[in-house]
Amino acid sequence: MLAYKRIGVTVKSGLDKKDKAVKHIMDILRKLGAHICLDVKRAEDYANVKDVEPLECIENIDLLIVIGGDGTILRAFREMKDLSIPILSVNWGTVGFLAETNLTEADQLLPELLSGGGTLEERGILHVEVLRGKETFFNGYALNEAVIAQGTIARLVDLKASVNGESLTTFHADGLIISTPTGSTAYSLAAGGPVVHPTISATILTPINPHSFSQKPIVIPGDSAVEVEVLTRENKFRDTEVVLTLDGQVYVPLKHHDRVSARVYRQKVRFLRRSQDTFFSTLRAKLKWGESTER
């Protein structure tokens, strides 16, 4: 008996051999007797698209299956109105830190997971607001990270950071990454940040190419409130543009003295996983930690 009966399926729009991937997953779900809701706008190449219920909005389902890479998961998360709906990712991307399975093992693993053989893993997300004066003119959510950086010409910016109202430092750098533990293996890792287990309640601040060697990444408690004030330096070209990006998918131009506030949101995103913890095996596989250095 299925633990998840109504299953939504979405796919990366530009996925190579997308129709083959969708057909494979749909065939498995049909054999299991699941009620399927397909993201028909992104699966237009699927031959039987007219025979399934469209997934017009990601709600009223028991589970969402995402076919693609981590970027597709981030897009699907951003479209979700109900964060209680678990996500199961089938990787067809490159690195795929968030993926639980791939097409080669889907025939065996999907029946097990959909029948209740898996476990639900909760991941924290960031709630991000931008204040201009006394007005909040933007708010959004990030599963991986919020990045404040110079958006046009390579030029250092000053970002005054405080935690729970206490001054931390003013970063003179290319930018600052405010990351969740899930995002610690994404942009933050590339900028020299630490790998943090995704189930830990924490926020990671990672400066991007700081001018001072003393400014290092820092991990703070997840219930901390981070505020970053933009202190752009005037120059004769007046070309310094600072932007906020969320998960590399949302772009917000910032002005001098704008304040970006970020803290862990009260709700979490849920991922359907195998019963055993796969995070360390994922690190070994994706970061190639298990490979011999001998030649």
* Domain boundaries along the sequence of the chain: 6-118+274-286, 125-266
Rounded CA-CA distance 285/185 in Å is 13
Clarify whether 70 is annotated catalytic.
yes
**pLDDT at res. 31:** 95
Average pLDDT of span 41-57: 76
- pLDDT score recorded for residue 189: 96
| CATH hierarchy code of domain 125-266 | 2.60.200.30
Residues 6+ apart with CB under 8 A from 115: 1, 2, 3
pLDDT of 43: 83
Q: Distances in Å between the alpha carbon of 136 and those of 132, 133, 150, 258, 279?
A: 6, 8, 21, 10, 37
Helix, strand, coil share (%) of the chain residues, nearest 5: 20, 40, 40
User: Which pLDDT value is given to residue 81?
Assistant: 86
Q: How far apart are CA 20 and CA 17, in angstroms?
A: 6
With H, G, I as helix, E, B as strand and everything else as coil, classify residue 179. strand
Between vectors from CA 38 to CA 32 and to CA 42, what angle results, nearest 5°? Answer: 140
pTM summary value: 0.91
Please give the mean pLDDT across all residues of the chain: 89
pLDDT higher than 90, residue 241: no
Report the percentage of the chain scoring pLDDT > 70: 90
* 6-118+274-286 CATH fold: Rossmann fold (3.40.50)
Residue keyed to tokens 């004769």: 236
| pLDDT level of residue 46 (50, 70, 90 thresholds) | low
Q: How far apart are CA 2 and CA 69, in angstroms?
A: 26
Average pLDDT (198-202) is 93
Is 49 a residue whose pLDDT tops 70? Answer: no
Among the listed residues 39, 70, 247, 258, the single catalytic one is 70
Mean per-residue pLDDT for 28-57?
Answer: 83
Per-range mean pLDDT, top range of 141-155, 159-173, 281-295: 159-173
Range of lowest pLDDT (41-45, 228-232, 254-258)? 41-45
Within 8 A by CB and 6+ apart from 41, the residues are: none
Q: What is the pLDDT of residue 42?
A: 86
Average pLDDT over residues 193-199: 94
Which pLDDT value is given to residue 269?
96
User: Rounded distance, CA 136 to CA 104, Å?
Assistant: 47
Q: What is the distance in angstroms between the CA of the first residue and the CA of the last residue of the chain? A: 50
Question: SS3 for 264?
Answer: strand
% residues pLDDT > 90 (the chain): 66
